[in-house]
């Protein structure tokens, strides 16, 4: 079962809007507070990786179902708040992602950036 192939971004946004509205939480959803909530949730995801080397983290995600579940929950929280942010600000996520990838494609041409982690202004 691969629901990513079956579920649209709009469906997720609608689910979250209904969840929010059923609880009368729209009053708490504003760009400032949602941006802060995103930041808090990102911190909680980062905390799971604190003081561990990257190989150990990859191994834990692959082989430790409890750890992977914690990562999934934190990632879900981040994306939920991001989608809530797009709902309250009327941002079309698909459009802005495609536009940003186009911009990044110009800043990070394959010829200059392939295999490098250098920032675009230093390529």
Mark out the alpha helices in the chain (DSSP H runs).
9-22, 31-49, 54-63, 65-89, 93-107, 110-113
Same domain, 32 and 71: yes
Same domain, 87 and 30: yes
Residue 13's closest CA among 72, 77, 93, 71? 93
Query: Would you say residue 1 lies in a domain?
Result: no
- Position 2 scores a pLDDT of 78
Write out pLDDT tens, residues 41-66. Answer: 999 999 999 999 999 999 999 999 99
Q: Which domain holds residue 24?
A: 7-91
Same domain, 50 and 87: yes
Same domain, 72 and 14: yes
Query: Would you say residue 44 lies in a domain?
Result: yes
Write out pLDDT tens, residues 6-28. Answer: 999 999 999 999 999 999 999 99
Same domain, 68 and 121: no
Mean pLDDT of the chain: 96
Same domain, 34 and 80: yes
In this prediction, residues 31-48 reach a mean pLDDT of 98
- Position 1 scores a pLDDT of 67
pTM for the predicted model, two decimal places: 0.91
Query: Would you say residue 2 lies in a domain?
Result: no
Residue 36 reports pLDDT greater than 80 = yes
């Amino acid at each position: 079962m691969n629901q990513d192939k079956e579920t649209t971004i709009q469906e997720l946004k609608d689910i979250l809007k209904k969840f929010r509205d059923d609880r009368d939480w729209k009053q708490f959803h504003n760009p400032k507070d949602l941006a802060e909530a995103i930041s808090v949730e990102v911190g909680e995801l980062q905390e799971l990786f604190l003081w561990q080397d990257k190989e150990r983290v990859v191994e834990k995600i692959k082989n430790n179902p409890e750890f992977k579940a914690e990562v999934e929950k934190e990632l879900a929280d981040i994306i939920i708040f991001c989608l809530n942010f797009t709902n309250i600000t009327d941002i079309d996520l698909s459009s802005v992602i495609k536009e940003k990838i186009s911009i990044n494609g110009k800043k990070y041409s394959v010829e200059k950036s392939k295999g490098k982690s250098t920032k675009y202004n230093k390529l």
